[in-house]
Amino acid sequence: MIHRIRDSLRVLLDRRRFEREMDAELKSHIDLAADDLVSRGIPRDEALRRAHAAFGALEGAKDAARQARGVRWADELAGDLRYAFRTLRKSPGYAAVAIATLALGIGANTAIFSVVDGVLLKPLPFPESHRLVQVTTGYPLGAMWTYRTVPTSYAGVAAYDYGSHVNLFVKGEAERIQGRPVSAEFFSVLGVRAMVGRTFRVGEDAPGATAVAVISEGLWRRRFGANRGLVGQSIAIDGTPREVIGIVPRSFAFPAVGTDVWIPIGLDRKLVSSVWGAQNATLIGRLKPEVTVAQADAEHRAMITTVRESFPFKLPDIWGKHERNHVEALDAAIGESVQGRLTLLLAAVGLVLLVACVNVANLNLTRLAGREREVAVRQALGGSRLRVARQLVVEQLVLAAAGGLVGIGLALIGTPLLVHWLPPDTPRLDEVTIDPRVLGFTAIAILVAGLLASLGPLIRLPRAGRAELLGAGSRGSSAGQGRHRLLRALVGTEIALSVVLVIGAVILIRSLERLLAVDPGVVVERLTVARVTPNPNWCKDEAGPCTCPPGGAACRAFFPALEERLAALPGVRGVGLGSTLPLDGEYYTFPMSVEDHPITPTQPAPLLGSHTVSPEYFSVLGIPLLEGRAFDKTDRGPDNPVVIVSRALANRFWPGISAVGKHMKPVWMPKMATIVGVVGDARYVGLSVDTPTQDFYMPMEQWSVGSMLVALKTVARVGDLEATLRREVAAVDPTATVTQVRSMEDLLLASAASPRSTTTLIGLFAAIALVLGSIGVYGVLSYGVTQRRREIGIRMAIGAAPGAVKGMVLREAARLLAGGVVAGLGAAWLLASVLEGFVYGVSVHDPLTFAMVPLLFAAVGFAASYLPARRATRVSPTEVMREE
């Protein structure tokens, strides 16, 4: 077997050398036979003649030798390849169109699959990554004590917080970088080692432990010049000196791309709000050998009661039993948020490749009409139908391979653009690349494309014995009608597939329009927003209302001082500050005690949206005050806490009565806060959420503040304002950072980034399919006019008007389109449920869309059929008769 494979490869790759060796071997056999005859006294020349005669025809002997050595198939394949290249060189126009069509389909599929593979399919870059699971998300950090003390199915469990940015102050320059608070087990659970130094040890996340940090190789090289002496030195992170204990490789980017520093999470049981009240932690684990995800999930569900009872305050019995609280493979959990969209894109681009293949099959079927005599001659000379069919398949595989090579080139260009276009929160984008896995997919796509493109010619391949095709005066094959029916069927299929894609694209476009037209609850015009983060150590009180420790004066003074300086800038009409902004994507909830709604075993503490704001926040953002009053400068100090609530919150808890004067508080707080006002609802979670969030607002003067978003009402452009904003912040505190400077309009567009990118890509694929479909219609009609040239000439010779001839061609086009459009509408109706979950404000069976798309195809079909129809009217009856 090995020898046969080796010889077959030699025939394919170096046929001349293989033939020379075979000739030499046969010659040696003849010479040996001649030598034997010479030894018997026969003259040399006569001996050679008799040896040749006894041996027989050399070509027949060589063919028998190839058969015996199992390389005949390779020899025939090599011949087919040579013939395919010669044939395609003689038809450069056809080859160019076919290659370009397949390159579009294969290139688009390669690019999309590279993203799907990198985000969803590729194993995580950690040792034995199949054992890594996400235990749960949106959990309290306090759950870590349970998982540390109770025997479980895990070799280790770690936690990380949602917090994603910290201030780094180096050599007088402040920078806001991505940082993650993680538990001490984080790196060991993932199996990651430091390239310099070490990672965290057990106990380094405990209260009173030495402040340490692990940094990324990227930050190490960018800000510290790759100085190995940095390990053991201290750097200022969020105002706290931390010893750098290790540097991890650039390839490590978890839990998010661009993370530059990891710090111990600070597991202090006494920090009630951050450890027990904030449901922000994600727990990950490494399963013990032989433990399954299902076993770990069952164990986790059984431990929910233990975790709930460890809380320092009472929780209802149903806490933690929501359907998303389950153990799942870590790679699946990471890609879960984008799996649906990427699968939809892959399906759409697969349809594009199918349309491209049908288009090339049409081209091949049309081209076969001109090759009937060639095929008939090959069959008359002894070529079987299977042998001729193999030759045609090889030609299509050569075309598909050429299209695939061009498509790979397009994918190499398009994949980085695609990665840039996708929303930046798409996980694992750094792992997207054209690697051997993707090239393997491309090879399969090339093979499938070649086989599909050859189906049309194979179905209509003439059978042996068609003697009429060899006649010199033959006007064509009697199979013309059958071939034309197959052409119409293929074009109908192409149109139907295009209709499915276009309907999907139009529904998504209409959905995006509806989404962007949603009232966000704030004014977006002439607003510039930025995140400003001072030294976080200025106000650390975890109990709730700020009772600042030494240095608290700075905590109190920073934002009011900044607000005053910004309000004095020319062109600024108002300044508002908030811990969150509508459409920003950040949303924090607290478990709350609400007056008139006691917490019971069956009624859990409601999780309500929490926002800390300045008095001018509502007026600057245009959030209307509906009842009561806004915050003012008297709302300071912890003695008389106050809040303002949204209309949705007020309607939920006090429907039909005034919420002003009612009370509420976070469950761990000792004192109720008085509701002093009700404001309109704003879109904090996203534009597509129909039910308004239930939010409460706390005055900045009464609560601890850290990083805040600043909103400036101004006519200045963002680019002109950014430098001024940085200068004013530095004037108040040089260690403070300014990031995410943008307009509110940009924030609005960014909030719809996922549906916008999906809609744009599917719209692009639909446009490609529409163009290919129109080309298919044009090709079939042009072929039909050519085939019916004699008929058209006779019709015009006996008096048919040009308009009647043109109408005949246009009616043919209408029949062609009608069948494809009707089939496409039916398929789109059946497949529309795939879009559920991706559309907003429009039905997946939107009647307007299903009415508009046929009109679009009618217009495109008319444009594609007009040129063939006009050409039909220019057929000269005289020339046709002369040809007869």
| Element of type H or E holding 428 | none
- State residue 600's pLDDT score: 76
Using 50 as the pLDDT threshold, list the residues of the chain that sit under it: 70, 464-470, 472-479, 539-552
Of 111, 194, 713, give the one whose Cα is nearest residue 438.
111
- What's the DSSP call for residue 614? -
Is the bond preceding residue 316 a cis peptide, omega within 30 degrees? no
Contact 158, 282 (CB under 8 A): no
* Residue 171 burial by Cβ neighbours in a 10 Å radius (0-12, 13-18, 19+): exposed
Relative to beta strand 695-699, strand 673-679 is unpaired
Of 80, 28, 34, give the one whose Cα is nearest residue 58.
28
Q: Where does residue 249 fall: left (phi above 0), alpha (psi -120 to 50 degrees), or beta otherwise?
A: beta
Task: Report the predicted TM-score, pTM, of the whole model to 2 decimal places.
Answer: 0.79
Contacts of 91 (CB under 8 A, 6+ apart): 367
> Whole-angstrom Cα distance, residue 626 to residue 676?
11
Contacts of 408 (CB under 8 A, 6+ apart): 106, 107, 110, 434, 439, 442
| CA 797 to chain centroid | 60
Of 507, 495, 693, 662, give the one whose Cα is nearest residue 589.
693
- What's the DSSP call for residue 137? E
Of 140, 138, 131, give the one whose Cα is nearest residue 296.
131
Relative to beta strand 173-182, strand 259-264 is parallel
> Whole-angstrom Cα distance, residue 818 to residue 521?
46
Neighbours of 48 (CB within 10 A): 18
- State residue 323's pLDDT score: 59
- What's the DSSP call for residue 273? I
Contact 98, 363 (CB under 8 A): yes
- What's the DSSP call for residue 624? P
**Placement of tokens 């000792």 in the chain:** 670
**Placement of tokens 């009561």 in the chain:** 628
Which residue type occupies 751?
Answer: S
- State residue 386's pLDDT score: 67
For the chain, count helices (H), then strands (E).
26, 22
Q: What HEC string does 78-146 produce?
A: HHHHHHHHHHHHHCHHHHHHHHHHHHHHHHHHHHHHHHHHHHHHCCCCCCCHHHEEEEEEEECCCHHHH
Contacts of 181 (CB under 8 A, 6+ apart): 160, 161, 163, 262, 263, 264, 265, 266
Relative to beta strand 663-666, strand 589-594 is antiparallel
Output phi, psi for 292, to 5 deg. Answer: -95, 165
> Whole-angstrom Cα distance, residue 223 to residue 173?
10
Contact 236, 168 (CB under 8 A): yes
> Whole-angstrom Cα distance, residue 641 to residue 697?
11
Of 302, 363, 324, give the one whose Cα is nearest residue 96.
363
What are the start-end ranges of the E strands in 171-237? 173-182, 196-197, 212-216, 234-237
Of 767, 831, 824, 860, give the one whose Cα is nearest residue 506.
767
Record the tokens describing residue 204, joined without a space: 């380094």
What is the per-residue burial (b if ≥16 Cβ within 10 Å, else e) of 830-864?
eebebbeebbbebbbebeebbeebbeebeebbeeb
- State residue 685's pLDDT score: 83
- State residue 380's pLDDT score: 61
Query: Which sign does the torsion angle of CA 825, 830, 835, 837 carry?
Result: positive
Record the tokens describing residue 100, joined without a space: 């370009």
Contact 364, 778 (CB under 8 A): no
